[in-house]
Structure 1
Amino acid sequence: MSKNNSYIPKSVTVTAWILVLGAMAPLLDSTMVNIAIHTLVKDLNSSVEIVQWTITGYVLAIGVAVPFSSWLLNKFDGKLVFLMGEILFAVGSLLSALSPNINFLIGARLVQGFAGGLIMPILTTLLVQTAGQKVMGQMMATVGLPMILGPLFGPILGGVIIKYLSWHWIFWINIPVGIISIILIIWKMPHYPAQNKAAKMDLVGIVLLAASTTAIIYGIVKASSTANFLNQKTLVFVSLGLILLILYIIWALIIKERVVLPLKLFTHNSFNGSAIGLFIAGTVLNGAMLLLPLFFQDIRNMSVMMAGLALIPQGLGMLISRPLTGKLTDSIGAKYVVMGSLLITFVGTLPFYWIDDTTSYWIIAVILFIRGIGAGGIFMPLMADAYTGMENSQIPAASIGSRIIQNIGSAFGSALITTLVTAYASSNITSFKHSLATNKFHGSPEYMKMFLQHHLELIKVHSFQYGFMVISIAALLIALPAMLLTNRMGKK
Structure 2
Amino acid sequence: MAKQAKNKLPKELMASAWVLAFGAVAPMLDSTMVNIAINKLQSDLHTSLNTIQWAITGYVLALAIAVPICGYFVNHFNGKKVLQWATVSFGIFSLLSGQAWDVQTFILFRIFQGFSAGFVILLMSTLLMRLAPRDQIGQLMAVVSTPIIIGPIIGPVIGGAIVQYASWQWIFYINVFFCIISLLLNIKFLQDFEPMNPKSRLDWFGTLLLAGGSTGLIYGLMRGSENAQHFFNREMLIFVTLGVLSFVIYAIYDRLRKGDTVLPMRFFKTKSYLAANAGIFLAGIASNGPMLLLPLYFQNIRDFSVMNAGLILLPQGLGMFLVRPMLGKLIDQLGARPVVLVSLVVSLAGTLPFVFIQADTNLWLLGVILFIRGLGIGGLQMPMMTEIFVGLPKSDIASASVGNRIIQNVGASFGSAVISAVVTGVVLSNHITTKVTAHAKVLSDQLMTQAAATHTMPTTTALANLKMQVMSYGEHLTKVATLNGYQMGFLVSSVVLVVIAIPAMFMSNKHSA
Query: After TM superposition, is the score higher than 0.5?
Result: yes
* Partners of 1:346 and 1:486 in 2: CA distance: 22
Report the equivalent of 2:290. Answer: 288
* Unmatched segments (≥5 aa) in structure 2: 440-445, 448-464
Say whether the 8 Å CA contact 1:140–1:326 is kept in structure 2.
no
Quick check: 2:61–2:409 contact (8 Å CA) kept in 1?
no
Deviations 1:184-238 (A, max 9, x none): 4445556655443222333332333333334334434545666786344443223
The alpha-carbon deviation at position 289 of structure 1 amounts to 0.9
* CA distance in structure 2 between the aligned counterparts of 1:345 and 1:189, rounded to whole angstroms: 40
- Give the direction of change, closer, same or farther, for the CA distance of 1:51–1:371 in structure 2 (3 Å limit): closer
Paired residue type of 1:348: G
- CA gap 1:229/1:455 in 2 versus in 1, 3 angstroms: closer
Task: Note the alpha carbon deviations across 1:263-284, whole angstroms, 9 max, x for none.
Answer: 2322333322221111111222
Structure 1: distance between partners of 2:130 and 2:335 = 19
1:252 equivalent in alignment to 2:254: yes
Q: Secondary structure at the match of 1:166?
A: coil
**Aligned position for 1:321:** 323
- 1:240 CA drift (Å): 1.4
Q: Indicate the residue corresponding to 2:442 in structure 1.
A: none
Report the AA paired with residue 419 of structure 1. A
User: Aligned partners of 1:482 and 1:10: how far apart in 2?
Assistant: 39
Residues of 2 paired with 1:464 and 1:157: CA distance?
A: 24
Q: Check if 1:479 corresponds to 2:480.
A: no
> Retained in 1: the 8 A contact 2:60–2:410?
no
Measure, in 2, the Cα distance between the counterparts of 1:140 and 1:236: 44
* In 2: Cα distance, 1:82 partner to 1:88 partner: 10
- After TM superposition, the structure 1 = structure 2 runs for residues 36-185 of structure 1, keeping only pairs within 5 Å, are 36=37, 47-48=46-47, 55=56, 57-97=58-98, 108-126=109-127, 145-185=146-186
Contact residue 37 and residue 168 of structure 2 kept, 8 A: yes
1:349 matched residue in structure 2: 351
Change (3 A) 1:211 1:429: closer
Q: Deviations over 1:438-465 (max 9, x none)?
A: xxxxxx999x999998787666545433
Deviations 1:6-64 (A, max 9, x none): x8956777665544433321232234345556766887xx6427877655654454344
Instruction: Quote the offset at 1:302 in angstroms.
Output: 1.5
Match of 1:385 among 379, 384, 387: 387
Which of the two has higher C-alpha Rg?
2
Question: Structure 1 unaligned runs (5+)?
Answer: 438-443
When residues 124 and 257 of structure 1 are mapped into structure 2, their CA distance, relative to the original with a 3 A threshold, is farther
- For 2:186 and 2:387, the matched residues in 1 are separated by 27
Q: 1:378 to 1:14 in 2, by over 3 A?
A: farther
Equivalent-residue separation in structure 2 for 1:99 and 1:402 (angstroms): 32
Rounded to whole Å, the distance in 2 between the matches of 1:231 and 1:190 is: 55
Cα distance change on mapping 1:117 and 1:214 into 2, 3 Å: farther
What residue is the counterpart of 2:27 in the other structure?
26
Using the TM superposition, give the Cα deviation of residue 322 of structure 1 relative to its aligned residue in structure 2, in angstroms.
1.1
Q: Is the 8 A contact 1:137 1:325 kept in 2?
A: no
* Offset from partner CA, 1:332-352 (integer Å, 9 cap, x none): 332221111111111222222
Paired residues, what number?
476
Q: Indicate how the Cα distance of structure 1 residues 281 and 359 shifts in structure 2: closer, same or farther if over 3 A, else same.
A: same
After superposition, the C-alpha distances for 1:417-452 in whole angstroms (9 at most, x for unaligned) are: 33334444555668x96xx99xxxxxx999x99999
Which has the larger displacement, 206-215 or 9-18?
9-18
Asked whether the equivalents of residues 79 and 185 of structure 1 are also in contact (C-alpha less than 8 Å), the reply is: yes
RMSD of aligned C-alpha atoms? Answer: 4.2
Alpha-carbon deviation of 1:89? Answer: 1.1
Q: Relative to structure 1, is the Cα distance of residues 221 and 201 closer, same or farther in structure 2, using a 3 angstrom cutoff? A: same
Task: State the partner residue of 2:492.
Answer: 470
SS of the equivalent of 2:379 reads helix
Deviation by residue 1:291-311 (Cα, 9 ceiling, x = unmatched): 222222233222222122111
Relative to structure 1, the CA distance from residue 35 to residue 317 in structure 2 (aligned partners, 3 Å threshold; closer, same or farther) is closer
Q: Identify if the C-alpha distance between structure 1 residues 75 and 264 changes in structure 2 by more than 3 Å, giving closer, same or farther.
A: farther
Structure 1 partner of 2:451: none
Q: Give the whole-Å Cα distance in 2 for the aligned partners of 1:201 and 1:364.
A: 47
Per the normalisation by structure 2, the TM-score is 0.77
Cα distance between partner residues in 1 of 2:222 and 2:122: 22
Report if aligned partners of 2:218, 2:417 keep a CA contact under 8 Å in 1. Answer: no
Aligned to 1:210: 211
1:247 CA displacement: 1.6
* 8 Å Cα contact 1:288/1:468 also seen in 2: yes
Normalised by the length of structure 1, the TM-score is 0.80
Distance change (3 Å), C-alpha of 1:140 and 1:93: same
Deviations 1:389-435 (A, max 9, x none): 545553442233222222222232223333334444555668x96xx
Partner letter of residue 47 of structure 2? V
Q: Helix, strand or coil for the counterpart of 2:263? A: coil
Question: What is residue 311 of structure 1 aligned with on the other side?
Answer: 313
Cα 1:145–1:326, aligned 2, differ >3 Å: closer, same or farther? Answer: farther
Residue type of the alignment partner of 2:346: I
Structure-1 residue corresponding to 2:421: 419
- Taking the aligned partners of 2:8 and 2:270, their CA distance within structure 1 comes to 26
Q: Who is 2:238 aligned against? A: 236
Confirm or deny that 1:374 pairs with 2:376: yes
- Equivalent residues of 1:67, 1:209 under 8 A apart: no
User: Using a 3 Å threshold, how does the CA distance of structure 1 residues 360 and 107 change in structure 2: closer, same or farther?
Assistant: closer
Q: Does 2:332 match 1:333?
A: no
Asked if 2 retains the 8 angstrom alpha-carbon contact of 1:37 and 1:48, the reply is no
Q: Which residue of 1 aligns with 2:455?
A: none
CA distance 1:459–1:32, change in 2 (3 Å): closer
